[in-house]
Amino acid sequence: MKRTLDYLIKPIANGDIASFETLYRYRYADLCGWAWQIVGSKEKAEEVVDDVFTQVWKNRSTLSTILHIDSYLYAAVRNSCLNELKSKSRRQENNTLSVDADIDVEILAEAFHDENDGYEQYAFQEVQTRLAEAIDSFPEKMRNVFVQSRREGLTMDEIAVRNDISANTVRYHLKEALSRLRQVLRSDK
Amino acid sequence: MIDNVNELLVQTFLSGHATSAEKQALREWLALSEENRAYFREQWTVWHLSGVAVQSDQPVFDTDHAWLERHQGMEVSEGRGWHIMWHKVAWRIAAVLLFLIVPASAFLLGRKVGVPDSSVHSIETYSGTHSKIVLSDNTVVWLNSNSRLECKPNFGKNNRTVHIYGEGYFEVARNEHLPFIVETSQVSLRVLGTKFNIRDYDYDDFERVDLTQGEVSLYNASYEQEMTLRPNERMIYDKKTGIMRKERFNVTEANLWVSEQIFFNEKPLSMIASDLNRIFDVKITVAPAVANKKFYGLYNMENTTVDEILNSIAATGQVRLAKRGNEYKLY
């Protein structure tokens, strides 16, 4: 059940608070989940998402140039989260243990520094629900491997031992799982 | 084409197991081409998005609460907060009046009552009361105040179909052969045996179903939409736009009204007031200046009066209470 909320762009740009409320109610929790995945803190996630909505409302007059509201929101939340990670790693500058975290931030900055981040081509509507459904429909072995990697943070070798399969099979399942999920993200708008 | 080595490198990084050397290699690889970066961005995005689906420790994000905080800030700055609130209060009063004039074939005032056969097919509760009902198929229903439950003729024999107005918590007895169907103004819900809460007051803009156990499927005829819920999932249906969506919720907060307790966990005063208005059938108004103040409290409904609750809130020194007849003002 994929619904685009793009019809809300115009009324919001014209200052209709009810349309803004609709957008907020439909996407707040999903976007918080998205932000939480990136920053790992509930409070930060809520703060980031609320700030993004504040910006949407404040700059609503420029909103009409946006094609897809969900791509816009997901990209904006992601950018704020990446900035948050960046300033967090800067705050911990003196801490020698954070060298690795610095590299993580640099990797993300390198990957996302382009203006064209590709999010316009993705279908973000109800994306978390759709991904959950796709994961449910995986063959059992693939689902187990993916969930153990994603939820329990096991390494590929650990997953191989636990499920009594080869490391190559684990790799195959993970690769196939991600490729199926990419199809969900790319499915037509 | 992305080769196997780099594919593995990206996966290792995403799963959080990359060594410093691997991270360094990844960084250099990303700098090489836009194709590499685009591949990484997509993998990173899918990885983080899918985490929401598989990670059970995700916190619950309270949309109502967040909106209320924001909404009041926005409205006050535009100087028209009161219109919205009065509008809602007016609807609430209208809804209460409507229920009072609807003839009831059976009404219960907070008593626990068994309905052993299918002869009774309509049960109604008024403001400030709620009832526990056992239907002939052994399904248990807690009906919240201002609600009405109607059973279809021959309920329990050749159908298990009910219609609800308002709010009810259901523990449906399992029967594989006869599905239990709940109809509301917008959505019909079909189950075999589960526990769920359904809320569709006519003054609510949103209709919602909270599932605590089992599985339910939902169907909305006017938009031909279907949805399946799992435990801890909530369906929210927007009556204005016809959009149905799903979110996660915290079971412990969902059906507290059933246990005859009133529980505020850092809830804004304006929401507390609207809950108390419904539960005790009183009229509490909240000044905008204090509407956003948050309170914590747990009360037992059976031996607590609305005065006691309001006095305990006022005793915090954060707000003041004025009373005239059945009307209260917090300011």
Q: Are B247 and B63 in contact (CB under 8 A)?
A: yes
User: Which residue did the predictor score with more confidence, B59 or A117?
Assistant: B59
Which residues in chain B are contacts of A128 at CB distance < 8 A?
A: 49, 52-53
Number of domain units in chain B: 3
Are A21 and B67 an interchain contact pair (Cβ–Cβ within 8 Å)? yes
A69 and A44: one domain?
Answer: yes
- Structure token digits, residue B274: 């609207």
pLDDT tier for residue B287 given thresholds of 50, 70 and 90: confident
A154 and A77: one domain?
Answer: no
Residue B45 to residue A143: CA distance in whole angstroms: 19
Three-state DSSP at B138 gives: coil
CATH number of the domain residue A167 falls in = 1.10.10.10
Residue B110 to residue B260: CA distance in whole angstroms: 10
B108 and B92: one domain?
Answer: no
B186 and B324: one domain?
Answer: no
A40 and A60: one domain?
Answer: yes
B71 and B125: one domain?
Answer: no
Q: Is residue A23 part of a domain?
A: yes
Q: Which of A29, A153, A171 sits opposite B63 (nearest CB)?
A: A29
Whether residue B108 is predicted with pLDDT greater than 90 in this model: the reply is no
Q: Is residue A49 part of a domain?
A: yes
A151 and A105: one domain?
Answer: no
B93 and B111: one domain?
Answer: no
B224 and B166: one domain?
Answer: yes
Are B66 and A22 an interchain contact pair (Cβ–Cβ within 8 Å)? no
- For residue A64, what pLDDT is reported? 84
Q: Which residue has the tokens 């003054």?
A: B203
Are A46 and B66 an interchain contact pair (Cβ–Cβ within 8 Å)? yes
* Residue B308 contacts A where some CB pair is shorter than 8 Å: no
- Structure token digits, residue B202: 């006519």
Where among A73, A95, A122 does a domain terminate? A122
A106 and A138: one domain?
Answer: no
* A28-42, A138-152, B309-323: segment of lowest average pLDDT: B309-323
A92 and A176: one domain?
Answer: no
Phi-psi category of residue B214: left, alpha or beta, with phi > 0 → left and psi -120 to 50 → alpha:
left
Q: Is residue A75 part of a domain?
A: yes
Closest CA to B43 of A101, A128, A177, A86: A177
Q: Is residue A1 part of a domain?
A: no
A147 and A98: one domain?
Answer: no
Q: Is residue B81 part of a domain?
A: yes
Instruction: Establish how many alpha carbons lie within 13 A of residue B314's alpha carbon, considering only the half-sphere containing its beta carbon.
Output: 15
B192 and B296: one domain?
Answer: no
Whether residue B25 is predicted with pLDDT greater than 90 in this model: the reply is yes
Burial class (CB within 10 angstroms; exposed 0-12, middle 13-18, buried 19+) of B244: buried
* Residue B27 contacts A where some CB pair is shorter than 8 Å: yes
**Torsion B265-B269-B271-B273 (CA) sign:** positive
Q: Is residue A151 part of a domain?
A: yes
CATH number of the domain residue B305 falls in = 3.55.50.30
**Domain residues for A25?**
6-122
Residue B157 to residue B98: CA distance in whole angstroms: 32
CA distance A84 to chain B (A): 16
Where among B216, B231, B250 does a domain terminate? B250
B321 and B187: one domain?
Answer: no
B31 and B129: one domain?
Answer: no
CA distance B187 to chain A (A): 15
Q: Is residue B223 part of a domain?
A: yes
Are B66 and A110 an interchain contact pair (Cβ–Cβ within 8 Å)? no
**CB neighbours of residue A15 within 10 Å:** 11
Closest CA to A44 of A87, A5, A12, A97: A87
DSSP state of B161: E
Condensed to tens digits (0 to 9), the pLDDT of residues B249-283 reads 776 555 666 666 676 767 788 888 887 887 777 88
Whether residue A75 is predicted with pLDDT greater than 60 in this model: the reply is yes
B227 and B282: one domain?
Answer: no
Three-state DSSP at A170 gives: helix
CATH number of the domain residue A67 falls in = 1.10.1740.10
A51 and A71: one domain?
Answer: yes
Whether residue A86 is predicted with pLDDT greater than 70 in this model: the reply is yes
B121 and B90: one domain?
Answer: no
Share of chain B above pLDDT 90, in %: 8
Residue A13 to residue B316: CA distance in whole angstroms: 42
* Residue A149 contacts B where some CB pair is shorter than 8 Å: yes
CA distance A13 to chain B (A): 16
Residue B97 to residue B322: CA distance in whole angstroms: 25
* Residue A151 contacts B where some CB pair is shorter than 8 Å: yes
Condensed to tens digits (0 to 9), the pLDDT of residues B52-96 reads 777 777 788 888 788 877 765 554 333 332 333 333 333 343 333
Condensed to tens digits (0 to 9), the pLDDT of residues B28-41 reads 999 999 889 999 99
Three-state DSSP at B281 gives: coil
A81 and A140: one domain?
Answer: no
Residue B250 to residue B263: CA distance in whole angstroms: 14
Whether residue A134 is predicted with pLDDT greater than 80 in this model: the reply is yes
**Domain residues for B71?**
63-98+260-330
Q: Is residue A89 part of a domain?
A: yes
End-to-end Cα separation, chain A, in angstroms: 12
Cβ pairs A/B, distance under 8 A: 151
Search chain B and give the residue with CA nearest A181.
Answer: B46
Q: Is residue A16 part of a domain?
A: yes
CA B35 to chain centre: 44
A10 and A78: one domain?
Answer: yes
pLDDT tier for residue B110 given thresholds of 50, 70 and 90: very low
Residue B59 to residue B84: CA distance in whole angstroms: 31
Search chain B and give the residue with CA nearest A183.
Answer: B46
A28 and A118: one domain?
Answer: yes
* Residue A153 contacts B where some CB pair is shorter than 8 Å: yes
Average pLDDT over residues B207-235: 84
Q: Is residue B80 part of a domain?
A: yes
B75 and B135: one domain?
Answer: no
Where among A122, A153, A173 does a domain terminate? A122
pLDDT tier for residue B290 given thresholds of 50, 70 and 90: confident
Q: Is residue B255 part of a domain?
A: no
CA distance A65 to chain B (A): 24
B82 and B199: one domain?
Answer: no
Q: Is residue B45 part of a domain?
A: yes
Where among B250, B275, B300 does a domain terminate? B250
Whether residue B123 is predicted with pLDDT greater than 60 in this model: the reply is yes
pLDDT tier for residue A46 given thresholds of 50, 70 and 90: very high
H/E/C letters for each residue in A68-135?
CHHHHHHHHHHHHHHHHHHHHHHHCCCCHHHHHHHHHHHHHHHHHCCCCCCHHHCCCCCHHHHHHHHH
Chain mean pLDDT for chain B: 75
Q: Which residue has the tokens 């309509």?
A: B122
Residue B66 to residue B173: CA distance in whole angstroms: 36
Where among A77, A98, A122 does a domain terminate? A122
A106 and A160: one domain?
Answer: no
CB burial of B102-121 (b: ≥16 within 10 Å; e: otherwise) equals: eeeeeebeeeeeebeebebb
Number of domain units in chain A: 2
**DSSP secondary structure of B15-55:** TT---HHHHHHHHHHHHH-HHHHHHHHHHHHHHHHHHHHH-
* Residue B53 contacts A where some CB pair is shorter than 8 Å: yes
